Amino acid sequence: MEAFNDRVNTYIDSWMGPRDPRVRGWLLLGNYIPTFIFSTMYLLIVWMGPKYMKNRQPYSCRALLVPYNLFLTLLSLYMFYEVGS
């Protein structure tokens, strides 16, 4: 698998140019294969999701969204405070 990754990385690097050396070792930026897999999975979910949910009731995400929105509001206030001071 490592040889395959090296061949893909070499091909894409020759096509698009060298990568920024500052991001070497970062998650999903070391190889192109994981990024391709996650992008393909995202497109499949976007394409298949409406077909799967066509005859189903919508999910209730309120229990997750309330704490999530509260957290983001507090985080935004904190960042605003840090930028302002």
Convert the pLDDT of each residue in 16-74 to its tens digit.
Answer: 777 778 877 888 777 778 888 999 999 999 999 999 999 999 889 999 999 999 999 99
Sign of the dihedral through C-alpha 32, 35, 39, 44: positive
Q: Nearest CA to 4 among 32, 39, 38?
A: 32
- What was the pLDDT predicted at 22? 85
**Which residue ranges make up each domain of the chain?**
2-84
Q: Which pLDDT score is estimated for 25?
A: 80
